[in-house]
Amino acid sequence: MRSIWLGLLVSVSALGCASDEPLVFVGEVENTDSRFGFVIDGDEGRIYVCGGEVDRTRHHDWFDVTSADGATFEGTEGQDSIRLDVDGDVVSGSVTIDDDEHTLTGTRASGEDGLYAPAPEDEKGDCRLGVVVAEAGAVIQGVFCDQTVGAVQVVPIDFDTVDAAVEGFTVASETAQPFEFSVLPVSMNP
């Protein structure tokens, strides 16, 4: 199922416009330092909620979501759940993680802002790495986790020297012996 989501393309019939570009949103999780990225393919989508320095151990979840009407997307991951409503270039909704409900708000991503992930063959660790880029690249937030280091932030290595929206970029875990990952926009992954 993961590989299906990593090659997302926009379904123009569900979105009502003709475009080869993915429909991508980025935003914030209220009362946390978490961010989210959301990619839509017709009546299905993929959302990654990523904690910052404070919430990284609790918020690093991927959600597969579906929509019956093309506007409200819902999904669950274990005990956690998410719901987002799409209204043009704005999304809003809620996420419940560890029985705590939070409001989500976001806008349509442009430029290098968006949701990034390594190709499945490049995965390392115990949770799927995701990276959210927001605010014209001013915010780059991702979480890497494994049994030895727990959940740690990743930092960009070459974001300013590449065209991230086309080529992707490299991040490294903030650990004594960092792991490096090449990440691509979710819509580019095979």
Residue 18 has pLDDT above 80, yes or no: no
What per-residue confidence (pLDDT) applies to 162? 79
The span from the first CA to the last CA of the chain, in angstroms, equals 12
* Cα–Cα dist 27/4, whole Å: 24
* Cα–Cα dist 108/154, whole Å: 24
Average predicted confidence (pLDDT) for the chain: 81
- Measure the CA angle with vertex 58, ends 82 and 137; round to 5°: 80
What per-residue confidence (pLDDT) applies to 11? 31
Nearest to 49 by CA among 68, 30, 67: 30
The total number of residues written for the chain in this structure:
190
Q: Give residue-wise pLDDT tens across range 117-154.
A: 887 777 776 677 889 999 988 999 888 877 777 778 88
